[in-house]
Amino acid sequence: MIQPEKIIIADDHPLFRQALLGTLKLKLTQTQWLEAQTIAELEQHLRDNPDSDLLLLDLHIPGAHGFNTLIHVRNHFPQIPVVVVSAHEDHETIHKSMGYGASGFIPKSTPVEDIYSAIQQVLLGNIWTPAAYNESAPMQDNNDIAERVASLTQQQYRILMMFAQGMLNKQIAYDLHVSEATIKAHATAIFRKLDVRNRTQAVIVIGQLDLSDMQLQDS
């Protein structure tokens, strides 16, 4: 049995998070658990703990915007395996998660014993998906968009997510403790990398990596 030193769990549902931790802590007695309820908290944990052994990521954590955060984490912290933990277990969501670099996909309906087994498999360097998942089915090709998102620096990605929230340059500059001119310079670089002309087009581009409208309404 592997006893990892650090695991980050990014999930904004306290009941699920606490129930899962309550069980896993009984087995992983030497593990330090770092909890994040927002993308900002997740980014802070990743920056402060690049030696983490695993990230458990809920695709619906506030500010995640579907698969964008998974792509970003895999590009900037490739040493940390990511297991997507989701209330949605449809084939397309699983397939895209794995295609964008996840080492595992655990539906929230999975029994805790199986979640523990899945974590152990991923820590051993293996891939884990639900037994019913058929990885051979085709997936819509969004690799070009994913590569463009992956090319953003951490600061550029953070600003792009703020654009998606509808924040003005002045607000973003205040939150990030930089000047508006700096934000404008980052925006220009973001637009160039995403091959768009303005923030509206940028948000539309990353929206193509979001989850379906129906899933978002169900979350």
Predicted structure pTM score: 0.78
Phi, psi of 15 (to 5 degrees): -65, -45
Please state the rounded mean pLDDT for residues 60-66.
82
pLDDT, averaged across the chain: 88
- Residue 35 resides in a domain: yes
- Residue 130 resides in a domain: no
12 and 112 both lie in a single domain: yes
Beta bridge partners of 86: 107
Please indicate whether residue 62 or residue 129 has the higher confidence score (pLDDT).
129
12 and 115 both lie in a single domain: yes
- Residue 129 resides in a domain: no
110 and 163 both lie in a single domain: no
- Give residue 35's identity as a one-letter amino acid code: E
Provide the number of structural domains found in the chain. 2
Element (H, E) at 9: strand 6-10
151 and 204 both lie in a single domain: yes
Q: What is the pLDDT of residues 164-182, one digit of tens each?
A: 889 999 999 999 999 999 9
- Residue 105 resides in a domain: yes
Q: Is the pLDDT of residue 134 over 80?
A: no
Q: What is the pLDDT of residues 188-217, one digit of tens each?
A: 999 999 999 999 999 888 888 876 543 333
Confidence of residue 70 (pLDDT cuts 50, 70, 90): very high
Q: Is the pLDDT of residue 150 over 90?
A: no
111 and 168 both lie in a single domain: no
Domain end position, chosen among 68, 93, 124 = 124
CATH of the domain at 187: 3.40.50.2300
The Cα 97–Cα 94 span in angstroms is: 5
- Residue 119 resides in a domain: yes
Please indicate whether residue 66 or residue 19 has the higher confidence score (pLDDT).
19
Q: Is the pLDDT of residue 66 over 90?
A: no
Which pLDDT belongs to residue 79? 94
Name the residue among 176, 75, 159, 184 with its Cα closest to residue 67.
Answer: 75
Domain of 12 in residue numbering reads as 6-124
Residues 6+ apart with CB under 8 A from 189: 156
